Amino acid sequence: MRWDAVLLGAALFGALAWQARRDHLRALAWRARLFDDCGALLERPAWRMDQTGWPALEGAYDGRPATLALILDDAGVRKLPALWLATTVAAPLLVGAAFDAIAREQGTEFFSPARELPVRLALPPEWPFHVSLRADRSALLPDSLVMAGARFFAAPEAKEIVVSPRGVRLVWLVGEGRRAEYLVLRRARFEFARVDHKVVAAQLAAASLLARSLEAAIDDAGRRVA
């Protein structure tokens, strides 16, 4: 047996394994620091690594429980990988149904509850045509959601609004993978070191405002009925 060839092969394999581990640890360290600038935006912030392998930040915003989560979406065909920010504000809302509005639907949005919702609703005239609107039952879209959707979907980064009796979630694009690296290596690498805290603050404020306006609309409706 050529022991020199075996040794050379083992050395090459070891070098590759060491490099792969180093890259993996670097990627984990990069992910772990993505929310470093956003801790001050939430009351009682608690950081954890999500089961998806991406960080999540929990806390309270404007007195309501809030969760920030990141979603790597590299499931689309002929699309650069996208990193979405999911901003969830929990509030008991007496909405008549669970609503999901998603922009430029590809059918590969594994994070979206859209496919669980059987009823397709007509789009409000204020909303752009690239939005798909669904609900779990036939229901009228609350006025505050119509107005919030028109503002939200005016931006190209807007992806999804989910409103259910448990609260509100907004999904927003925070970055796209580097083109060259994805085309050659199919690896999702991003240019930034931290998620922009201004973007996160704006999403938290928008989600909280929507939750508050839905609560207020429900209060008004309740008073009118009374």
Residue 98 interacts with another protein (CB under 8 A): yes or no: yes
Contact pick of 81, 142, 167, 177 for another protein (by CB under 8 A): 167
Structure tokens at 144: 């505050």
Tell the smallest beta-carbon distance from residue 208 to another protein (Å).
11
Nearer to another protein, 53 or 156 (CB): 53
**By the rule CB under 8 A, 144 interacts with another protein:** no
Token pair 């392998």 is found at 53
Q: Checking DSSP bridges between strand 131-135 and strand 99-103, what pairing results, if any?
A: antiparallel
Q: Please choose, out of 34-42, 85-93, 172-180, 190-198, the segment that lies near another protein by the rule CB under 8 A.
A: 85-93
Cα-based distances in Å from 122 to 105, 129, 139: 16, 11, 11
**How many angstroms separate the CA atoms of 168 and 191, rounded?**
29
Give yes or no for a contact between 158 and 132, defined as CB atoms under 8 angstroms apart: no
> In the complex with another protein, which residue's Cβ is closer, 67 or 144?
67
Min separation Cβ 88 and another protein, Å: 5
Of 82, 102, 162, 188, the residue at the interface with another protein (CB under 8 A) is 162
- Rule CB under 8 A: say whether 168 interacts with another protein: yes
Q: How far is the CB of 6 from another protein (least distance, A)?
A: 33
69 or 123: CB nearest another protein = 69
Q: Which tokens go with 171? A: 């999904």
Size of interface with another protein, in residues (CB under 8 A): 35
Structural element, H or E, at residue 144:
helix 143-152
Burial class of 225 by CB neighbour count within 10 A (0 to 12, 13 to 18, 19+): exposed
Rule CB under 8 A: choose which of 115, 186, 187, 198 binds another protein.
115
Q: Is 116 in the site for another protein (CB under 8 A)?
A: yes
Chain length of the chain:
226
Tell me the C-alpha distance between 226 and 222, whole Å.
6
Type of residue found at 23: D
Q: Are 70 and 105 in contact (CB under 8 A)?
A: no
75 sits near another protein (criterion: CB under 8 A): yes
DSSP-assigned letter for residue 194: S
Interface with another protein (CB under 8 A): 46, 48, 50-53, 56, 58, 65, 67, 69, 71, 75, 88-91, 98, 100, 107-108, 110-111, 113, 115-117, 136, 162-164, 166-169
